[in-house]
Amino acid sequence: MSKKATKYIFVVGGVMSGVGKGVAAASIGKILQSRGMKVTALKIDPYVNVDAGTMNPTEHGEVFVLDDGTECDQDMGNYERFLDRDLSRTNYMTTGSIYLSLIQKERNLEFKGRCVEVVPDVPLEVLHRVDKAVEKSNADIAIIEIGGTAGEYQNILFLEAARILKVKNPKDVLLVLVSHILTLGAGGNELKTKPTQYAAHTLNSAGLQADMILSRASVPIDEKRKEKLAFVCGLASKEDVISAPNVKNIYQVPVNFENDGIADRIFKKLEITPRKRDMKEWRAMVNKMNNAVKPVRIGVVGKYFNTGEFVLEDSYISVLESIKHAAGYLNLSPKIEWLDSSVYEKNPASLKELKKYDGIIVPGGFGSRGIEGKIKTAEYCRKNKIPYFGLCYGMQIAVIEYARNVLGLKDAHTAEIDGKTKHPVIDIMPEQKKNLKEKNYGATMRLGAYPANLKAGSIAGKAYGVSSISERHRHRYEVNPEYVERIEKGGLNFSGRSPNGRLMEIAELPKSAHPFYLGTQFHPELKSRPLHPHPLFKEFLKAASARKHK
């Protein structure tokens, strides 16, 4: 492993999936960072997909994209938002990527003819990647989240990696179990620890002993049950059981953990000299978000959250968090509602409900389902002066709508949906045509950070306050250059362009025509942070608030 005396914290889950390991890992990282430690965070996903790019958001949640173009799990977004730093592909791995790497090495004779085995070669490859991430970030502490739940076959090899490292460096490795504490009784406040006891014992069967337990529950865990968990699960003290109750604002979690003494326990166990607390800026941000009372109502028009029974907010988690970041900064209390675009497609009369919102966001997406409803949404917002913010597909929607209803190109469309349209105002990048023809879809889009130049005096230019920017992309289709001049003459301005002027990055109507009608080819939500809200989200919410409080 690394020559530097690096410390490692493995975060694993117990009882059930979705228990909050990602937020817990990010929160631990934020606390240690606030104590002056250099921290990096890694996610290990136990699925065979090489990355998250080909997975449906309704099944796995949002696909997060890093600056280097890595398509990864949404927990990587939590790490970046909490740590307020950019991560890279070295911080993310899956079962598929591990096996792919080993097979490629074997084919290249890098194992010099020896037998390549699942154990120890898979765990050792995991530790090799952890070491690379530590080296790249020069981290004092690496936090490694292992996806899945203790007891599942699919993550056993990653637990074995933790065991190997623990055996080699017993004083440098800490295992944190994030486990669900059931609540029963008429009031729902009777805490039951038995499932977590079983989870801890399951870890024992993998050769691991939890050093700390984060007790996830609807309410804070009491001292008596802390004592019981510590005794039954083999913890050194009841102080090693950290209360992790439900919160309305996830940025409250580091504050709660720190208040429960988690950093001091970690420092003691890893034999790190204690550092002074310094979460003033973070606490101030959380207080501002929690105490904002000026309401603003935002509608998000999409399709990936409609399961027929409930709203899958994870499909657009970065959009949701970006709204919260900007709202908190502006002392606004956002009320976010999810609107199914297919409803507007089937029943255009229902578009009138959009008037009750202070702003509308049309986020990214792929495919034809619900697209006409989104186009109708953009038209209604344009005509009725409702602040409109289009993200990637949402910008393309705005361009299509404008071409159809302002320029008179009635069959204008995106070639993604209608390859035979006479007016493909949105078309595929020439270099992508080969990938589609060969059905080579994974990691073949325009991915990651790309630069753009902004027009002086534009809404975007004023919002950013700079002349050039870098933003993250995830798409194949672009505004067709053949239509740019005609669209701009019609009144829709492309205020952001690639340095060579070929790619349109931002489209907007001038303030004189609309309070806020703007779309981005990139995904601004991927770079918003609670301490540094994205400038375009701030500008959008300013316009929404102005509409609310006219």
Residue 113, domain extent: 7-283
Encode pLDDT of 340-387 as tens digits.
Answer: 999 999 999 999 999 999 999 999 887 777 899 999 999 999 999 999
How high is the pLDDT of residue 443?
Answer: 52
Quote the CA–CA distance of 456 and 427 in Å, as a whole number: 27
- Same domain as 248, residue 355: no
Residue 2 lies in a domain: no
Identify the active-site residue in 413, 514, 523, 534: 523
Residue 25 lies in a domain: yes
- Same domain as 259, residue 138: yes
- Same domain as 342, residue 214: no
Is the model's pLDDT at 169 over the cut of 90? yes
How far from chain centre, in Å, is Cα 189? 32
- Same domain as 319, residue 228: no
How high is the pLDDT of residue 210?
Answer: 97
- Same domain as 397, residue 276: no
- Same domain as 190, residue 84: yes
- Same domain as 211, residue 171: yes
Three-state DSSP state, 299: strand
Mean pLDDT, the chain, as a whole number?
92
Judge whether 525 counts as a catalytic residue.
Answer: yes
How high is the pLDDT of residue 442?
Answer: 55
- Same domain as 334, residue 220: no
- Same domain as 326, residue 448: yes
Quote the CA–CA distance of 43 and 59 in Å, as a whole number: 18
- Domain-ending residue, one of 251, 283, 315: 283
Pairing of the two strands 477-479 and 182-184: unpaired
> CATH number of the domain that 204 lies in?
3.40.50.300
For the residues 308-323, what does the mean pLDDT come to? 78
Least confident of 198-202, 273-277, 310-314, 416-420: 310-314
For the residues 52-63, what does the mean pLDDT come to? 82
Residue 39 lies in a domain: yes
- Same domain as 307, residue 261: no
DSSP 472-532: EEEESEEE-HHHHHHHHHTT-EEEEE-TTS-SEEEEE--TTT-S-EEEESS-GGGG-BTTB
> CATH number of the domain that 431 lies in?
3.40.50.880
- Domain-ending residue, one of 264, 283, 302: 283
Is the model's pLDDT at 25 over the cut of 50? yes
For the residues 60-78, what does the mean pLDDT come to? 94
Closest CA to 21 of 143, 129, 123, 132: 143
How high is the pLDDT of residue 60?
Answer: 76
For the residues 389-399, what does the mean pLDDT come to? 97
Strands (E), 186-305: 190-192, 212-217, 241-245, 294-302
- Same domain as 377, residue 231: no
For the residues 432-460, what does the mean pLDDT come to? 80
**Position 309 confidence tier, pLDDT thresholds 50, 70, 90:** very low
- Same domain as 383, residue 235: no
Identify the active-site residue in 160, 416, 525, 539: 525
What global pTM score does this model have? 0.93
Is the model's pLDDT at 265 over the cut of 70? yes
Residue 1 lies in a domain: no
How high is the pLDDT of residue 313?
Answer: 74
Give CA separation, 217 vs 17, 195, 230, 234, in Å: 14, 12, 17, 21
Identify the active-site residue in 72, 233, 381, 392: 392
- Domain-ending residue, one of 236, 254, 283: 283
Residue 288 lies in a domain: no
Encode pLDDT of 269-279 as tens digits.
Answer: 999 988 888 89
pLDDT > 90: what percent of the chain? Answer: 84
**Percent composition of the chain: helix, strand, coil (DSSP 3-state, to 5):** 40, 25, 35
Judge whether 233 counts as a catalytic residue.
Answer: no
Encode pLDDT of 102-147 as tens digits.
Answer: 999 999 999 999 999 999 999 999 999 999 999 999 999 999 999 9
Total number of domains in the chain: 2
Judge whether 152 counts as a catalytic residue.
Answer: no
Residue 133 lies in a domain: yes
Residue 419 lies in a domain: yes
